[in-house]
């Protein structure tokens, strides 16, 4: 029987300026019965708010709990990703960050971009401006951003100089109501998926990111290292996190 497998590597780096890494991430792959499952997620504590590291860690911990419940479902014979419970887990993450903020007398928040895979099915859940990309080859290579940033441009005029900055419009843990995007789709042999915080893409164009993945020859560690190094060389001052996963097929005996 032909099955898909997922190879993955990730890096989270504090960057060249900040002393605390407010990014959190997780990547896991598991075989359960006849199912191959994976979880990839990046959470980026929101700049300008307090204790973003706690917010992102709280969110990733809750997603891990959801993942453990999913593995139990797969072990019991279920062969679908439970998107209802995933949505509930993210809403609960929001409540947990809100409670943490209230208890500590602060305002906090985090982005969340995650990808759950089960056999040939993928689910993206997304809040904020961390991103998920896909590189897929049909006849030609196609590199696409699968998520939409929850942000808007804000223009400032200071001493005759115009600056444009992207401002988050939604995140986990800042308010009761927030925008959550979810999408289900099929994955294919040969796909690459990349999840990252904005530290990766603010100073590197999509074409540069695509080139690093395409010419990485499947060396996921090198691809991630090159993306992080590239951001630093471009003087990116934010924390930098990236996960790259490759999908391939094999014949099960």
pLDDT at 117: 97
Task: Please provide residue 79's backbone torsions phi and psi, each rounded to the nearest 5 degrees.
Answer: -130, 35
Give CA 70 to chain center in angstroms. Answer: 19
CATH number listed for the domain at residues 2-251:
3.60.40.10
E strands in 138-214: 141-145, 151-158, 161-168, 181-186, 192-196
Q: If we measure between CA atoms, which residue out of 62, 76, 54, 71 comes closest to residue 125?
A: 62
pLDDT of residue 1: 59
Cβ-contact 228, 202 below 8 angstroms? no
**What whole-number distance in Å separates Cα of residue 213 and Cα of residue 192?**
8
The predicted structure's pLDDT at residue 164: 59
Return the sign of the alpha-carbon dihedral for residues 164, 114, 247, 29.
positive
Query: What residues does each domain of the chain span?
Result: 2-251
Return all residues near 175 (Cβ < 8 A) that are at least 6 apart.
Answer: 98
195: its two tokens: 């999840």
Query: For position 162, what pLDDT does the model report?
Result: 62
Give me the tens of pLDDT residue by residue for the chain, a chain 253 residues long: 578 899 999 999 999 999 999 999 999 999 999 899 999 999 999 988 999 999 999 999 999 999 999 999 999 999 999 999 999 999 999 999 999 999 999 999 999 999 999 999 999 999 999 999 999 988 889 999 999 999 976 766 666 666 657 789 999 999 999 999 999 999 999 999 999 999 999 999 999 999 999 999 899 999 999 999 999 999 999 999 999 999 998 776 6
pLDDT in the model for residue 208 = 97
Q: How far apart are the first and last CA of the chain?
A: 7
Give pLDDT, residue 107.
96
pTM of the full structure = 0.94
Amino acid 163: pLDDT: 62
Residue whose token pair is 């792959």: 29
- pLDDT on residue 155: 66
């Amino acid at each position: 029987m032909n099955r898909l497998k997922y190879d993955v590597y990730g890096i989270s780096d504090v960057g060249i300026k900040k002393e605390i890494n407010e990014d959190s991430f997780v990547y896991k792959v598991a075989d359960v019965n006849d199912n191959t499952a994976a979880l990839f997620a990046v959470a980026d504590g929101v700049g300008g708010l307090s204790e973003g590291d706690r917010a992102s860690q709280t969110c990733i911990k809750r997603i891990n709990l959801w993942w453990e419940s999913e593995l139990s479902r797969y072990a019991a014979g279920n062969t679908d990703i439970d998107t209802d419970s995933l949505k509930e887990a993210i809403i609960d993450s929001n409540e947990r960050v809100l409670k943490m903020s209230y208890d500590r007398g602060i305002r906090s928040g985090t982005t969340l971009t995650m990808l759950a895979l089960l056999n040939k099915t993928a689910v993206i859940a997304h809040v904020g401006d961390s991103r998920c990309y896909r590189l897929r080859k049909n006849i030609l290579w196609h590199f696409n951003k699968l998520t939409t940033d929850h942000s808007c441009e804000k223009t400032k005029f200071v001493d005759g100089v115009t600056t444009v900055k992207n401002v988050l419009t939604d995140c986990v843990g800042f308010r009761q109501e927030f925008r959550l995007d979810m999408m289900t789709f099929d994955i294919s042999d040969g796909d690459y998926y990349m999840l990252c915080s904005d530290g990766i893409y603010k100073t590197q164009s999509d074409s540069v990111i695509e080139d690093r993945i395409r010419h990485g020859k499947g060396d996921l560690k090198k691809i991630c290292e090159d993306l992080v190094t590239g951001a630093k060389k471009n003087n990116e001052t934010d924390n930098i996190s990236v996960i790259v996963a490759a999908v391939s097929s094999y014949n099960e005996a």
